[in-house]
Structure 1
């Protein structure tokens, strides 16, 4: 039997969220059922397939129902099928309902940053429901991520919405260090103008200048020094200066040259008594060794074990061969 359209029981929208829609209807027969089940009037909610415009039953119910597991900001079509004991069927008009937008969250905030979406970022922050400094699963705040990626316009939005420029990750790095290591000069300048200090230290005692040196970013290094960052600053555990970091990590002579011209101590000692020259020799940074010697490095100096640069060079050769 073909169902009759437009019964006396239209669907009514109840509570709507981003993943569920509550549907109800006025049911004159909604009372304790008597007699065998085959004598009962049955109600079923049918959902329309948006591609084929066909319907399938999603709920066989007597009482109001809640359709769950839906997508946010999506239109859904529902109708009510009423089947009486006589076999007579009737259908309600199709009810179109939009689920709501997904609630703003820390995840949404970080997604906007990663997509470099200024508009979405502003919308999320203006909602007032999300902490501007919320950490992601890696332990980074949105400002740290934006700084590391060099998204200066997003950094500006975050700071103007109260982001903490001094917020640190689990290793003690803050946004300025992230920008320095990644080499984003515009972001570095912005953060410095906002008050980020070059005296801040991570858990190992490294400063933003140490991180700029590790990243081998000459424009950032030059700017940081011109902006007053201390080239003789030491890591408190190893007593390594930025020049010592060059000798130990990159071996980049151009970076070392900038530091030396800015007044870096070429004969500074670390905790074990090693100089930048000794460390450069141990790491086989040949061009850097030449630059350090030219810059006044004393090759006669000894570490706490009485070994000098020449001894270390001999040891290096033996290890290689």
Structure 2
């Protein structure tokens, strides 16, 4: 004999902890391959993983340790490993193959948010049924799954979340709740459903805005009519600017159809904000012609002045709103 070491066939690696993305393997538990003498005479261990497509083996570990954790694996997937033992002279032996499957991926809040965003009610239901995930955990922007579904108009998902204990009054960072978000987005069916579940018209965000402030920004006239019919207050002032919903229309959208509904429901056309501005002034400065005509027709005071005693025509001139100056002069004549 040439003095070559014949290496006996090693046992397959022993499987330790397994989860959805890693598998722990260890080997040589009986110390067959002892480390005796200088390190260049030690046995070397390799863990090899089979590639499913090519049926070839590739190294996932090589060294003198007797354990290794294989990371970065896919959940619910089967993997095949074998142990290779190499002597100092290059002789080697392979163990039988061991097959191990990773576990299922645990359901997390991220999965719930992803399913809600994709309007995938079947997956939402499956996740809520596991009871591992609370229905109210917010995403990175502070929106709960219910807020997202309410804003996007996903009625079935709104129902599922509420049925599984989602809090309809939960607020995001700016104090907006699901009702306000649904009002802004104009989803009448969801607004009606949230009201049946006890959502209140009285709630306000951090700036003191109500669902009506948000509904007028969204401009869904049919929704606004329903809200008025359902007893939602039309003339509440916010905390910051003391703006009513009618002031918001004058500043933001200039939508005369929305303004007409608010005025019919009792909105004050001559309300003053914290700087003494009226809806008519704000509408004129924002160039909302049709709204300016409507406000004057509904009794807005054209002679009103701001805190510095400046009237609407002067303001319009100062802001170079020539068309407004003309409208205001014309309407004055009509009134006279």
- The TM-score, its normalising length taken from structure 2, stands at 0.86
Matched residue SS, 2:79? strand
* Equivalent residues of 2:116, 2:145 under 8 A apart: yes
Cα gap change, 1:38 to 1:228, in 2 (>3 Å): same
Pair 1:124-2:124 in alignment: no
CA distance in 1, matches of 2:31, 2:321: 96
CA contact (8 A) 1:9 1:27 kept: no
Corresponding residue for residue 47 of structure 1:
49
Give how far 1:192 is off. 1.2
- State the Cα distance separating 1:26 from its structure 2 match: 5.2
SS of residue matched to 1:169: coil
Name stretches of at least 5 consecutive residues in structure 2 with no aligned partner. Answer: 1-5, 324-336
Determine the structure 2 residue equivalent to 1:16: 18
How far did 1:272 drift?
Answer: 1.9
What is the CA–CA distance in structure 1 between the aligned matches of 2:168 and 2:195, rounded to whole Å?
10
Question: Does the Cα contact within 8 Å between 1:21 and 1:67 map onto a contact in 2?
Answer: yes
Q: Which of 104, 121, 133 is the matching residue for 2:136? A: 133
**Per-residue deviation, 1:72:** 2.4
Q: Given the alignment of the two structures, is residue 245 of structure 1 paired with residue 248 of structure 2, yes or no?
A: yes
The count of aligned residue pairs is 316
Runs (4+) off by over 6 Å: none
Distance of aligned partners of 1:302 and 1:7 in 2 relative to their CA distance in 1, 3 Å threshold = same
Q: CA deviation at 1:8?
A: 5.1
Taking structure 1 as reference, are residues 31 and 49 closer, same or farther at Cα in structure 2, changes over 3 Å only?
closer
Which residue of structure 2 aligns with residue 168 of structure 1?
171
Instruction: Give the structure-1-normalised TM-score.
Output: 0.90
8 Å contact kept, 2:11–2:96 = no
CA RMSD between the two structures: 2.3
CA distance, structure 2, for counterparts of residue 319 and residue 12 of structure 1: 86
Q: Deviations over 1:156-202 (max 9, x none)?
A: 11112211111111111111111111111221111111111111111
Q: Give distance in 2, aligned partners of 1:28 and 1:41.
A: 14
Q: Residue 112 of structure 2 contacts residue 127 of structure 2 at CA under 8 Å; is this kept in 1?
A: yes
Q: Are the structure 2 counterparts of residues 277 and 50 from structure 1 closer, same or farther at C-alpha, using a change threshold of 3 Å? A: same
